[in-house]
Structure formats: structure tokens, C-alpha cells
Amino acid sequence: MAITSANQLELLQTAEAVAREKMIDPGLVVEAMEESLARAAKSRYGAEMDIRVSIDRKTGKATFTRVRTVVEDEELENYQAEMTVEQARQYMESPEVGDVFVEEVPPVEMGRIAAQSAKQVILQKVREAERDRQYEEFKDRAGTIINGAVKREEFGNVIVDLGGAEAVLRRNDKIGRESYRPNDRVRAYIKEVRREVRGHQIFLSRTAPEFMAELFKMEVPEIYDGIIEVKAVARDPGSRAKIAVISYDGSIDPVGACVGMRGSRVQAVVNELQGEKIDIIPWNEDQPTFLVNALQPAEVSKVVLDEEAGKIEVVVPEEQLSLAIGRRGQNVRLASQLTGLDIDIMTEAEESARRQKEFEARTKLFMDSLDLDEFFAQLLVSEGFTNLEEVAYVEIDELLVIDGVDEGTAQELQTRAREFLEAQAKAALDSARALGAEDSLIEFEGLTPQMVEALAKDDVKTLEDFATCADWELAGGWTTVDGERVKDDGVLEPFGVSLEEAQDLVMTARIMLGWVDPAELAQTEEDGESVDEEAEA
């Protein structure tokens, strides 16, 4: 193919046709042509030459140029594409390092091999441009529902044609045992659009909680208009789901709006999700109230919330226990996902037995440590005292409200409690020192002698050892192993140290040791707060 004799407008016409077919910028196709022609010219003039081709966007005329760059004498490596300042003086008036000398060279004729190579370059560039276009088109559609046609199934994964792009519905993103045949229509949620080396990848999902939320948004105009908001969704795909909704208009019932006339709206979602049963629950800012709603249809007698631990205890009548737990724990598991809390369910009899056990343990504690008779110890427990610290350091007026306790008796109780605690602290301190605990740890503010003893038993004996601890190692936590939540016991967990308190203690130790700059830490916290505020806005 000879550029000199070819119809110059044919290049532009070809570029326009390819760009129109692939829905990409014609300029990208022309750039690909320029690169392919330059590659063919290098095979003719020499691979080391810097040959460039420019195609006029109006006439289609291709201009071939050779470019040489002026470099320092000692940097001269490629004689075909570079030259020294001295050599450049024969072509330029006052050459300087970095200047370029451009001269036009005769066009080349493309042989069969060069033409084939040029074709491959153009096809590759067009494919890259097409992939970039598709990525830009779909990256902003992540988080929405899309309809497509099934092209084929590969190893359980379904390839879906979205019209101009392909997406993957992976096996674990299908509901139950869904199976598809070619050309079947499928509706799914765009879970992720990822750019990869071989091109973009669009991942679909029909099991994502967001898919259900988006389906309700399509079926319920009030959600689309923002009058009703979907606050949380928990799903056991293909089996059962719970969705929490709230109305910002007092005259509109959020549950009724989502159910629709004779259940028409929710039934449309159920049909799309292969018969998945859906519990629609009114959302409430009060977590215990919300949890009672989330455990429907079971009736709840009492809820006890432990905000620090993120746990909640639910008491139900004996006959409601199986309903609250659900088949294979499904009901309580979905309620836990919906509320974000660990839920312990017990019957009224179990709760009564546990309370009795706690009452007896506290009574025995006061009897043994304060040398009290059983009746007096039970009085303390009945008044809400749970440990010796409360007795020792509470305002004396709170002891005087107990029947039969006068000021002298109250002072005697506090004296006995303080002496016992001091003896315990001394014993713990002696034990910690015997285990090798150093003064740097013993004198660290925030740790009691009993805590230091527990740390020493766990081989944490210096402030340096303590500063290397992770917060969950101290306060405990939960991890997920093979889909099961596993409890990690913390060294200081028996002393009621929370995760936030553990973080503060460890960070204070690191600052004292000079491992962390307080100014940098404060700046980091400020930056984090500003990011959170922006996210909320």
C-alpha cells in the first residue's frame, strides 16, 4: 500500500467508519493510524530513528518526519535520534540541550508484512479505546440495576450482554439454584466495575442486599422520591429477607407503602427474587425498639442493651423461643445483620436462673470480703451494688438509704471494703513484680495492679511490650473464621476495658516512648474528623 498514491481522504473515511461502529472518538482511530504508519516507516528507515507521522485531520495527508533531540556530549547514546550541541549547529542557529530538530522524510510504501503489522496496531488501539469507553460508561452506573441478555454460562458463571459490553454474574451472586439459557433476560445489580490489565470487568449480583433495596426503589414511588428511606437490608438470598424502612412524612405508613395495594408492590419484588419471603420492618433510632421490630414475628418480653460491647440480650417467652431463633437460626441471624448487634436470645426461665446465679455470686462476694451475714449481703445486692469498688467509694448517703444502716455502719462498710481492695492490690502488685513486671509498666497511669498482674502473666512486662499490643489483644473482639464469628479473649477484658479505652492506653504508651509524635497524631485525628464530616454532608 503506497501512501503517496492512496486516496488521502480514504484514511479519514476509514477512521470515521471505525469510530462510528465502535462508538469511540475518531481522533483515537487517527492516532492509531499515525502510530502504525510510524512503525512501518521505522522498519524502512531504521528502528533506532525517531520517526513520527502526522495525518492532517481535514485533508487526510500523512506527513512523515524524523525527530532528533539535542543532548549533552556524555549523554549521547542513540546517534540516529540524538545529537550533541556541536552537531546541531549545522542545522540550527543557537542550539541548546533539549531542543529538537525536525525534518520531513519521504513517505514509505507499506509491504504486506508492514501493512499487516499496521492493521494489528490499529485494531489494538481501537480495542483499548472501546474498553476505555465502556469503563467510563459503566463505572458511574455501579450501584444501579441493569437488564441484560444471557450470552453463555462458563463454570457456573453467567456472561451477560448489556448491549455494547459484557458483564459477569458469578456463581455465588446467583440466587439459589438459578439457571439460565442463552438469550434469557436477566435483571441484576451492578456490584463493581473494575479496571484490569486485560480490560474492564463488570460484576453483577442478585444476592446483594442493595439489589433488594434498588428493586423496592423501582416499585415504590415514595422511596424513589425520598419520602421513604430504606435504612437497612439483611438477606438470606432465595429464602428470606428483612428490610427496615422509615417515612419522613407522618401521614405515610412506610410498611404499608412498601407492601402496596393487596401486596402488589412487595409481590413484584418477591417474584423477581425467586419467591424470597420479605419482612418489612419500621426502622427506629432506639436500638432496643428496632430490635423488637426486627425479631418479628416473635414476641419479645425484655431487651437488655450493652452498647460498649455491641451486644444485646433478648428475653422471650418459652413458647416464642423457636420462632425468635427461626429455622437454622435464620430469624435471629437476619435480625443481627439488620441491627449490627450480636444478639443473645434466652427464655424468661433462663434469664431468671441467670439473675439468681448472679445474685448468689454477689451475695457470697460481700459475705466473704466484708465479713457480713447473708441477710445483710443480700440487702446490698438488692440495692444494686455489684462490686466492692461501689461500696468503698460511693457517696455515704447511698448506703444510708438501706434499711438498718446508720452512719457508723456505713463508714465501717466502706473501711472494710477499702482495706480489702488495698490488700488485693498489694497482693496483685507483689505477684506482678515476682513475674518480672517492670516499674515502667507498674507506674503507667490507667493500669491497676490487677491489670499489671494479668499482663505479666501474658508475658507483657515492660511499657515497650505494652506499646506493641493491639487494641483487640487487650480488650478482646470478634473475628470471622470460615463464615463463623469467633470470640477473641482480651487480656484486660475481665476488667471491663473497652476497645476505645485500649486504643487510648496503647497510644499513650507509644507517645511516652517517643514512638508517636503527639502533634502528628492530633493532625491525623483532625483530618479524619474532617473527612467524616464531609462524608456526612
6-21 residue pLDDT tens? 445 665 666 677 667 6
Closest CA to 133 of 197, 199, 35: 199
Burial (Cβ within 10 Å: 0-12, 13-18, ≥19) of residue 317 = middle
- The CATH superfamily holding the domain 140-207 is Nucleic acid-binding proteins (2.40.50.140)
As a whole number, mean pLDDT of residues 321-336 equals 85
Alpha-carbon torsion 433, 435, 439, 443, what sign?
A: negative
What are the tens digits of pLDDT across the range 183-211?
Answer: 889 999 988 888 766 667 888 999 999 99
As a whole number, mean pLDDT of residues 376-386 equals 87
Give, as one character, the DSSP assignment of residue 479: E
Q: Are 497 and 448 in contact (CB under 8 A)?
A: no
Given CATH 3.30.1480.10, say whether it is the number of domain 5-130: yes
Lowest-confidence range among 67-76, 213-222, 279-288?
Answer: 67-76
Which ranges of 261-329 does DSSP label H, i.e. alpha helix?
264-272, 287-294, 321-325
- The per-residue DSSP string of 402-431 comes to STT--HHHHHHHHHHHHHHHHHHHHHHHHH
52, amino acid identity: R
Query: What grid cell was written down for 235?
Result: 438477606
510, amino acid identity: R
Closest CA to 202 of 169, 164, 163: 169
C-alpha distances out from residue 339 to 287, 333, 481, 499, 500, Å: 8, 10, 21, 20, 21
pLDDT at 2 over 50: no
Its pTM stands at: 0.57
Q: Which pLDDT belongs to residue 453? A: 94
Lowest-confidence range among 75-89, 182-196, 444-458?
Answer: 75-89
As a whole number, mean pLDDT of residues 331-360 equals 86
As a whole number, mean pLDDT of residues 378-391 equals 87
Q: Which pLDDT belongs to residue 523? A: 64
* CA–CA separation, 349 and 343 (whole Å): 18
Domain at 369-428, CATH from 1.25.40.10, 1.10.150.20, 3.40.50.720, 3.30.360.10: 1.10.150.20
Burial (Cβ within 10 Å: 0-12, 13-18, ≥19) of residue 431 = middle
Residue scoring higher pLDDT (25 or 288): 288
Residue scoring higher pLDDT (102 or 485): 102
Give, as one character, the DSSP assignment of residue 90: T
Alpha-carbon torsion 123, 129, 130, 131, what sign?
A: positive
Residues pairing with 70 in the sheet: 83
Same fold across 5-130 and 140-207: no
* CA–CA separation, 187 and 176 (whole Å): 15
- The hierarchical CATH code for the domain 284-368 is 3.30.300.20
Identify the band that residue 143 occupies on the pLDDT scale cut at 50, 70 and 90.
Answer: confident
What are the tens digits of pLDDT across the range 497-525?
Answer: 888 889 999 999 999 998 888 877 666 66
What are the tens digits of pLDDT across the range 246-291?
Answer: 999 989 999 999 999 989 999 999 998 988 899 999 999 888 888 8
Domain boundaries, the chain: 5-130, 140-207, 284-368, 369-428, 436-529
As a whole number, mean pLDDT of residues 204-225 equals 92
522, amino acid identity: A
Q: Are 334 and 295 in contact (CB under 8 A)?
A: no
* CA–CA separation, 273 and 294 (whole Å): 21
